[in-house]
A and B are shown apart, each in its own frame.
Chain A
Amino acid sequence: EVQLVESGGGVVQAGGSLRLACTASAMSVTGTYMSWVRQAPGKGLECVSVIYNNDYTHYKVSVRGRFTISRDSSKNTVFLEMSSLTTDDTAVYYCARNHEPAAGGYFDLWGRGTLVIVSS
């Protein structure tokens, strides 16, 4: 079964760091677009970061310089390194596979999410 499983969430103090991981099964995280999409409590979805099939990376403005997306083909895993965290970063973070912009950039596979709580 094709699936994405996130890990690494937890409670961290403001200003701290956390590394999220997304491990894929029955699919490869290389050669495809992979993303992190977050959802703050009671709020909507927002795309935080995308790594393109050619390893170009995109970040939402509010996380640029603080978050880093990467992937490890040997582990078939995508990572999101988060630093200088603020309470505004509190959210469920979903890993998702998405498609190229020319195709509409839609997300066709989602993980169950991992909760990040930043305490003040």
Chain B
Amino acid sequence: YELTQPPSVSVSPGQTANITCSGDKLGGRFACWYHQKPGQSPELLIFQTTKRPSGVPERFSGSSSAHTATLTITETQPSDEADYYCQAWDVLTPWVFGGGTRLTVL
């Protein structure tokens, strides 16, 4: 099972960024999202496709359709620059991550 993300996404400050994650029937599975800033560990942003852990700003939200999960970041800030990873669970390929998307805010 594979999860495919675009290698990079660019957004202007204050605008909305959408980062996609594609996988077979991903809409029927739980997806989650992490961000990782340079030199830091990954941090959970979204779990079970749409839920935010406590402390994660409401600017971050998750959604999904048939084969795609999407992370949406509204009012994007320069501090949101990071690598973003999606992840899901599949019986044949447990705990699979997408390849990551570098978000650039410029």
Interface string of A36-77 (1 = CB under 8 A from B): 010000001111001000000010000000000000000000
Docked CA distance A75–B23 (Å):
39
Interface residues of B in 50-65 (CB under 8 A from A): 53
User: Inside 8 A of A50's CB, which chain B residues have their CB?
Assistant: 94-95
Docked CA distance A98–B87 (Å):
12
Interface residues of B in 35-94 (CB under 8 A from A): 36, 41-44, 47-49, 53, 85, 87-89, 91, 94
Chain B contact patch, size range = 20 to 34
Interface string of A84-104 (1 = CB under 8 A from B): 000000000010001101011
Are the CB atoms of B32 and A104 closer together than 8 Å? yes
Are the CB atoms of A104 and B30 closer together than 8 Å? yes
Docked CA distance A44–B95 (Å):
13
Are the CB atoms of B89 and A44 closer together than 8 Å? no
